[in-house]
Structure 1
Amino acid sequence: MTLELVPADGPARTTLLGFLREADLPTTGVRDGPGRFYLAVADDEAIAGGGVEPYGDAALLRSVVVRPDRRGEGVGATLVTRLLDVAGATGAGSVWLLTETAESFFAGLGFETVPREAAPAAVRDSPEFATVCDEHAACMTRALGGNV
């Protein structure tokens, strides 16, 4: 599937926030913060979104969402692959995330569940780790390099 990543600025940010709210995902930090958020567009239609926050040699993958009517088509996997490319371009050697509902999805994309304490200090100090996701969220990581 071909997806174009469009920076989620202005009206695109409003669209991304709508997708997140509809999926009951956190919107904290999507308006500001160190990350770069994107809409995934296919055939001139916004169908998904997500972001990458760089923290030194690590990055935090967050706010990955696919419009309900496009789930099950491989959009999420394609989007995550593209966001991993973005993370790699920032110089990250690893990507981290927290999830309460999609652990098996991310495991299928090569992420491993690890203790939260294993995350680099800068990632652990991020708002996502510190306040947005509670301690029950699974912490997952994936090394970058080679086949992303």
Structure 2
Amino acid sequence: MIRECVDADFEAICEIINDAAQAYRGIIPPDRWNEPYMPREELREEISAGVVFLGYEQDGELAGVMGTQDIQEVTLIRHAYVRTEQRGQGIGGTLLARIMDEATQPVLIGTWADAVWAVRFYERHGFQVVPPQQKEVLLRKYWTVPDRQIETSVVLADQTWFAT
């Protein structure tokens, strides 16, 4: 079952993000890795800044989360994670499909360039990597990330973005 997450889900959201983000260890540049990957304070700041999470509930427990954030004329997909032991069950695709069904404006996703599994996931769902020169412009316009993260990231966009 997909549902909007509520305040009581905060700890589960944080746990899912930090569990699933272990896949980045040794893949993303070491200077971008943190332990925990997403500290509670940072997650609180993200939610306060408008990130809204959908959760995929299985057997009464959140198995995956995907956040969205509307900024100006686009929707950003933020913090898309599925518990490690529940990957490969279609949870991420189900969450993404719901978000895309409800999207009313172009959708962008930023992820680590070396997280090839994440890039492929979004490509399988119709997203395309934007050209490098546009990537930097988009990351500076819609995200608040350091230069080093801009260097090591990609942005993917849905067909609506490419059509505008």
Fold match, TM over 0.5? yes
Amino acid at match of 2:109: L
Structure 1, residues 71-98: CA drift from partner, whole Å, max 9, x if none? 1111111111112234x1xx31x11011
Identity score, percent: 20
1:99 matched to 2:111? The reply is yes
Structure 1 residue ranges, 4+ long, deviating more than 6 angstroms after superposition: none
Residues 109 and 155, structure 2, Cα contact 8 Å, conserved in 1? yes
Residues 139 and 155, structure 2, Cα contact 8 Å, conserved in 1? no
How many angstroms apart in 2 are the aligned matches of 1:55 and 1:39?
21
Structure 1, residues 49-71: CA drift from partner, whole Å, max 9, x if none? 01111123311001000111111
**TM-score w.r.t. structure 2 length?**
0.70
Aligned to 1:12: 9
Residues 114 and 140, structure 1, Cα contact 8 Å, conserved in 2? yes
SS in 1 for 2:46: coil
Give the superposition deviation at 1:6.
Answer: 2.5
**TM-score w.r.t. structure 1 length?**
0.77
Q: Structure 2: 5+ residue runs without aligned partners?
A: 22-36
Give the superposition deviation at 1:127.
Answer: 3.7
Q: Which has the higher strand share?
A: 1
Q: How does 1:128-147 map to 2 (within 5 A)?
A: 128=144, 130-131=145-146, 133-144=149-160
Residues 2 and 95, structure 2, Cα contact 8 Å, conserved in 1? no
Residues 2 and 57, structure 2, Cα contact 8 Å, conserved in 1? yes
Amino acid at match of 2:2: E
Higher-Rg structure is 2
How many angstroms apart in 2 are the aligned matches of 1:134 and 1:122?
10
How many angstroms apart in 2 are the aligned matches of 1:144 and 1:14?
34
Aligned to 1:56: 72
Report the number of matched residues. 137
Give the superposition deviation at 1:117.
Answer: 4.5
Q: How does 1:1-148 map to 2 (within 5 A)?
A: 3-7=1-5, 9-24=6-21, 26=38, 28=42, 29-86=45-102, 88=103, 91-92=104-105, 94-100=106-112, 101=115, 102-115=118-131, 117-118=133-134, 124-128=140-144, 130-131=145-146, 133-144=149-160
Residues 58 and 123, structure 1, Cα contact 8 Å, conserved in 2? no
How many angstroms apart in 2 are the aligned matches of 1:122 and 1:114?
9
